[in-house]
Amino acid sequence: MKTLKSRGLLVLILFSGCLFNSQLFGIAPDDSLVVKWKDINVFYDDNERCLVCHGEAYYTLSDTVAGISQIRNMFQDYFVDREDYYDGVHKSFSCTDCHSSDFIRFPHDVATRLEPRYACIDCHGYDENYAHLNFEEIEVEYNNSTHAQVENFSCWKCHDPHSYKLIASEVSDVAELVLYDNNMCLACHANFTEFRLLTDREEINVVNKHEWLPNQVLHFESVRCIECHTQISDSILVAHMVLPKDKAVKNCTECHSTNSRLMSTLYKFESREKRQNGFFNSIILNRSYVIGASRNMYLGYLSFVIFFGVLTVIGIHVFFRVLKAKKK
Amino acid sequence: MSKGLYLYPKWIRLWHITNAVLFLILIVTGISLQFSGLDEPFVLVSFKSAVSWHNAAAFFLVLSYVVYIIGNRVTGNIKHYRSNSDTYLQDLIKQFNYYRRDMFRGEPHPFPVTEDSKFNPLQRFSYLLAMYAGMPLVIISGILLFYPGMLPRQIFGVSGLLINDLIHIASGFMLSIFMIIHIYTCTLGSKPTTLFKSMVDGYHHDDH
């Protein structure tokens, strides 16, 4: 009992250092947001015991015995933005739903810090509630992707569970979806500081690497990186098998054609209907325009009728000219 | 023997051949882009090459068009496109009937070529339509396709890019049809090659 009391006191003392930090450096969340978040998550107050440090850019490390305090930066990977968290798919979770309750001890034990982390499949796999998302197939595709070959890579590198939102199947604005998804890739591939934490490869200049692409900016704004850099998947909503760079799509007509690849990737959620009002890939038309893919069947027929009609009239005219010339 | 009327000065002939070559490149590459993914005869040029050639030809077409507009104004050549006739519609019908019927009866040309009037009413009408309506449409919509950021995302709920593209393709197609008819009507001289010769040496060799 005495041990328990002293441990409780220790936790209180250790957390007091963090609380001090919050008062000094943290920007206190707006009261209306706190009310909203409390409404969303019944564990809000419990979570604050973690977020008081992990929800701030800085924290104070205190040695209460020696009376020394130091301000430290919160490492980006351990930072959780409250607004993003309570807006993400896991917004109703308690931190300890996924992390050990031993993390309540500060400084955190090495053994606690080394405990295995959950992957998506651990919660979402083999569960009929998530059967439509087919996490099992996502797992297979991921394991065959180039990302799986990178040491210490995991689902979390792209899908931060503290902020992840369901975008692909829910957002109506394709530009928003493209921006959200491409930012996932560019967070590492256009940020060498992040990139070199994962690999010894040399820095990639995304813009230079895609110099061959006409209207590069328009492409970057209109389609996701994964349109060309993953293998098309029929069984899951978003392809996860990231291909090696030499296998990326470089043939323009993969997208710029009637059988546009985009119908199996970017626009696959919107409709199974491929033709509407005579337009090939009509669903693309509601959002954008893709040369070669957005042709209208009826206008195509009309142009053939006009073209061959003109040739026929010319043919008839030539016929009578020849007839007249022969009469002479 | 007289060479005939000198109707087509050097600048017009140079512009005309430049315009024709550029337009042919634009048609071939344009069809290749529109029907990309299909096989020949629609796709004569690969998509990537078609994009480069189409953009380059379009750039020079715009330059050539500017030269044409300025040249027409400065030299007074624009007068041949204008009509002050009170019987504009009747003249059009008369010319149409000539091509449709009267030329086969051996009747004389209703509007003989003169120094002051080198185009017949149908030519005047179609050239004016092609050069002062069709060309601006195809050029402006083409520039907007090149700089799609200038277009509104949606126009009445439909993609602004799509509407602009339909204008570009439709105007390009109609100009192509105009070109086919234009080339054919140029075989209607005293010999099928007579009028083509005019565009080489500048002289109108026919007696009508």
What tens digit of pLDDT does each residue of A36-50 get? 999 999 999 999 999
| Mean pLDDT across B25-31 | 94
Nearest residue in B to A280, CA atom: B35
pLDDT value for B47: 86
A91-126: b (≥16 Cβ within 10 Å) or e: eebbbbeebeeebbebeeeeeeeeeeeebbbeebee
Residues in B closer than 8 angstroms to A252, CB to CB, are 36, 47-48, 51
Confidence of residue A26 (pLDDT cuts 50, 70, 90): low
pLDDT at A151: 87
Question: Does B150 contact A at CB distance below 8 Å?
Answer: no
Confidence at B10, pLDDT banded by 50, 70, 90: very high
Q: Band of the pLDDT at A270, cuts 50, 70, 90? A: low
The pLDDT value recorded for residue A31 is: 85
The domains of chain A are located at 1-80+97-115, 117-250
Q: Measured between alpha carbons, how far is B101 from B121 in angstroms, rounded to an integer?
A: 17
What pLDDT score was predicted for residue A28? 66
Residue A16 has pLDDT above 60, yes or no: no
* Two structure tokens written together for A166: 């369901």
Q: Collect all residues with Cβ–Cβ distance below 8 Å to B145 and sequence separation of at least 6.
A: B161, B164, B165, B168
CA atoms of A145 and A240, how far apart (whole Å): 7
Mean pLDDT of B166-185: 95
How close B33 gets to chain A, by Cα (Å)?
Answer: 6
- Which one of A290, A317, A320, A322 would you mutate to disrupt binding with B, by most B Cβ within 10 Å of its Cβ? A317
Mean pLDDT score of chain A, rounded to an integer?
82
Candidates A214, A257, A289; nearest CB to B165? A289
Give the number of beta-carbon pairs within 8 Å between A and B. Answer: 70
User: In chain B, whose CA is at the least distance from the CA of A221?
Assistant: B149
Q: What is the pLDDT of residue A7?
A: 45
- pLDDT exceeds cutoff 90 at B122: yes
Beta carbons of A253 and B184 less than 8 Å apart: no
CB atoms within 10 A of CB A248: 15
Is the model's pLDDT at B61 over the cut of 90?
A: yes
pLDDT of residue A8: 45
pLDDT score at A43: 95
What is the rounded average pLDDT of the residues A66-86? Answer: 90
The answer to whether residue B105 neighbours chain A at the CB level (below 8 Å) is no
* Chain B neighbors of A317, CB-CB under 8 A: 99, 184
